[in-house]
Amino acid sequence: MSTAATNRDGGGRQRPGLDIRFGRFRGLTTAVIVFVVLLLVVDWISAGPLSYFDVSFLSSGGATLALAAVGETLVILSGGFDLSAGAVLSLVNVVLAQSMDPTDFEASVLLWTCVGVGIGMLVGAFNGFFIAFLRLQPIVVTLSTMFIIQGITLLILDKPGGFVSPSLGGFFLGDFIPNWVPMPIVLLIVVGFFWLWLKRTRFGTALYAVGSDPNAAASAGVRVDWVRFFVYVTAGGFYGLGGVFISAQTGSGDPLVGNPLLLSIFAAVVVGGTRLGGGRGGPIGSIFGAYILMIVVNILLVLNVSAYYATIAEGLILILAVLASSISRDSTFAQQLRGGATRIGAWRAGTLPAQIGGGDRRKAMTASTRPEASAQVQPSFRIRHGETLRYALPSYVALVLVVIVTQLWLGNAILNWTYWNSIIVLSSFLAILALGQGTVILTGGLDLSVPWTIGFCGILLAGMVQGSDVALIYALPTVLAVAVVIGLVNGLGIVWLGLSPIVVTLATNGLLQGAALIYSGGTPAGFSSPLLRWFMTAKVLGITPVVYFMVAFVVFAVVFLSRTSFGRRVYGIGNGLRVARLSGIAVGRTLVGVYVLSAVCSALVGILLTGFSGQASLGMGDDYLLPSIAVVVVGGALITGGRGHYLGMLGGVLLLTALQTLLAGTTLPFATRAIIYGVVVLGAVIALRDRRELS
C-alpha cells in the first residue's frame, strides 16, 4: 500500500494517510471553502467592507437554520429521515409566545430555553418510539407527526401574535464580547464542541455504525433500537433550541414560521457533506451549509433578484449538492454511466435478460393459453384475492361506521343522495391523487412534489384561461404537458442520477413553488372557465358531472394497475428491485412512467380544484400531501411498496372524506383535521403492517 494511503505511528500501528483522511472530511472541507468564497463575494459586492454589524447580522440570520440542520444531520447519520423539524420550530415558537407573561420583561432565559428544548425532545421521543421500537418507516412517521404538530400549533395559536420576552432576544442576539464576538457564533461553537464530544462517546460510534449498516451493528452488539430512539430525542432537542432562537428573533409567535424551512434544512445538511442514507458526514458541515444557503439568498437580494427565486435557488443547490456528493467511482451516478454503455453493448449482442430465452417464454405463454391449461381448476375468489380483501376491507368497514355515526349525528346521511353526491365530489381530488401517489408508493417511493404540482398547474390554468371556455382547448393540453415534464424531471433524477426520491421530489416542490410565485407575481390572476365550473358544481339528472367522470376514472385505475403489463411491472419493482431487474423488467422506464403518472394526476387535481373554487391560489395543494399518502396507507397499501390495490385506496379516500364531512358538522376547530389525519395514518400503518416491515 502506498505511503500516501497509510503511515505508521510511534507504536507501529497503521493510520489513515492524508488522502483517506481528506476523503473522510471532503464534504466539510468543501463546505468551508465555499463559505469563505461566498463571504469574499459578499464583501466584494457590498458598498463597503464587512463590519461587525454585518457579521452579527449574518450570524443571527442563519442560526435557526443551522440548529435545525444539526438535529436533522444526526437523524440522517443514523440512516433515518425527519420531516417534522420545521413543525417543531413552529410549535416551540407558539408555546413560548402564548406562555410568557407580557409584563415580564426579564424572564428567565435558562428556564424558557429548557422548555423549548424539552418540547423538541418530547416530539423526538414520539418519533423515536414508533421508528425504533415499532419499526415503522421514518418517512411516514415523521410526516404524520408533522401534521399532528401543525394541528396542535394552530390550536394553541391560530394566527400570528403573542409575546416573547425581550430577555431572550437580548441574550441570543446580543454580544458575548461587545463589538467583538456575537452570541449566535458562540452558541454554534458550543454546539460544535458538543458534537465533537458526542462523536467520541460510545453513542457517537454506534450512531455511525447504525447509519452505515444496522445489521452489522446489531451483530456487533449495538442496541440499534435504543440508538435510533436517542437520535430522534437528541435531534428534537436541537429543533427545540432552534425554536427558542427564532422566538428570540421575532419577539412573537407565528404558527407557520417553521414550515418554509423544511427544504432549506435538508439542503443545508447535504451541502454540508452529510450523505443521505447515513454513515458519513457531521453537524459541523451542516452549520456551514446553513450559512452558505443564507448567504446565497442575501447575494440574490443584493443583486436585486426577486425573493421569489429563493426556493428555486435552494432546490437547485440541494440537487447539485446531492449530485456532487454522488460523483465517485462507486456512486450510483457513475454506475449509471458505466451501465449505460454496458447495456448498449449487451443489447447489440442480444444478451439482455429480456432478449434471452424469448422463445422459451413465448412457448410457456402459448402453453398457458392452451385449452388444457385453461381447463385447470381455478382457486376460489377468496383464495385468489385473500390478501387484497384482508388489507382493503378495513377501510370500508370503518367507512360504514363513520356513515352510521354521521346518520345519528346529522341525520339523513344513508338515504340522502345529496350527501353521497357531495362525498363523491369532495373525494374526487383524493381519488385521482391516490392513483398517482399510490403507484409511486407501490414501487417503494414517495412523491413530495404533489402540493406545488397541484398549485402551479392550477395557477397556470387560471392564468391561461382567464374565464374563457375557448381557451380550455389549448390550456388543458399545455398544463398536462407541463405535468409530464415535471414527472420526467422527478423520474430521471431518481433513475438516471440515482438520487433519493425524497430529495428529488422535495427539491422539485421548491422549484415549482418559486415558479408559481414568479409566474403569478405573488398574486395569482385569472379564474376558471364557466365550463370547468359547471363540470364541478352543476347537476345533470341530479348528479354532478364530475361524478360520471369519477366512475370512469375508477374503472380505468383498477384496470390500469391490475390488468396491464405496466401495473404488473409496478408491483414487481415494489416487491424487489434487484429481482425485478433480473426478471427483465424495464425498471428505469417504469419508474419514470410512475412519476409522470403522479405528476399528471396532481395536475388534474389542480385543474379540478380551480374549477371547483372558481380560481387558483398560492398553496392550494398544501392540504393534499399527507391525505394523498394517508388514503393509500389506510387503504391497505404497504408503505415500502409491493402491496396494495386501488379499490382499497378508494376505500381510504371515501373514509377520510366521510370523516372530514362528519368533523365539519361538529364544533371542533379546523386544525383538528390535521391531527386526526396524522393519527389515522399512524394507526393504519401499525394495524396493517406485515412481516416485511418487522424484519
**pTM of the complete model:** 0.79
Residue 23: per-residue pLDDT: 54
Give the mean model confidence (pLDDT) for residues 530-539. Answer: 91
Cβ–Cβ under 8 Å, residues 162 and 252: yes
Neighbours of 173 (CB within 10 A): 19
> Residue 384: what pLDDT?
54
pLDDT beyond 90 at 18: no
Q: How many CA atoms lie within 13 A of 12 on its CB side?
A: 0
Between CA 244 and CA 226 the distance in angstroms is 27
Asked whether the domain spanning 386-688 has the same topology as the one spanning 19-329, the reply is yes
pLDDT tops 60 at residue 357 = no
Q: Does 378 have pLDDT greater than 80?
A: no
Class for the domain spanning 386-688? mainly alpha
pLDDT of 123: 96
pLDDT of residue 330: 46
Residue predicted with more confidence, 326 or 534: 534
The predicted structure's pLDDT at residue 411: 67
Closest CA to 86 of 267, 251, 306, 327: 267
Q: Return the pLDDT at 365.
A: 38
Q: Residues 103, 107, 111, 114: is their CA dihedral positive or negative?
A: positive
List pLDDT tens digits, range 302-311: 787 777 787 8
> Strand 14-16 to strand 175-177: parallel, antiparallel, or no bridges (unpaired)?
unpaired
Q: Which DSSP helix (H) or strand (E) runs through 8?
A: strand 6-8
Fold of 19-329: ABC transporter involved in vitamin B12 uptake, BtuC (1.10.3470)
Domain boundaries along the sequence of the chain:
19-329, 386-688
In this prediction, residue 322 has a pLDDT band, given cuts at 50, 70 and 90, of confident
Among the listed residues 332, 623, 582, 599, the one whose alpha carbon sits nearest the alpha carbon of residue 440: 599
Share of the chain above pLDDT 90, in %: 37
pLDDT of residue 402: 82
Q: End-to-end CA distance of the chain, in Å? A: 40
Summary mean pLDDT of the chain: 83
pLDDT tens profile 642-666: 888 899 999 989 988 888 888 777 7
- The pLDDT of residue 367 is above 70: no
Q: What is the chain's alpha carbon radius of gyration, rounded to the nearest angstrom?
A: 27
Q: Which of 306-320, 323-337, 580-594 reaches the highest mean pLDDT?
A: 580-594
Tell me what the mean pLDDT of segment 366-393 comes to. 55
Q: Which residue has the higher pLDDT, 254 or 392?
A: 254
What pLDDT, on a 0 to 100 scale, did the predictor assign at position 57?
86
pLDDT for position 359: 43
Mean pLDDT of 389-406: 81
d(CA 509, CA 515): 10
Q: With 0-12 CB in 10 A as exposed, 13-18 as middle and 19+ as buried, what is 363?
A: exposed
Using an 8 Å Cβ cutoff, are 237 and 71 in contact? yes
Provide the pLDDT for residue 24.
62
* pLDDT, position 623: 83
Q: Is the pLDDT of residue 372 over 50?
A: no
The type of residue at 474 is: Y
pLDDT at 368 over 60: no
Q: What pLDDT does residue 213 have?
A: 87
Mind listing the pLDDT tens digit for each residue in 40-57? 888 888 777 778 888 888
Kindly tell me the burial class for residue 293, based on how many C-beta atoms sit within 10 Å of its own C-beta (0-12, 13-18, 19 or more). buried
48: amino acid identity, one letter: G
Q: For residue 194, give the C-alpha cell.
A: 458538543
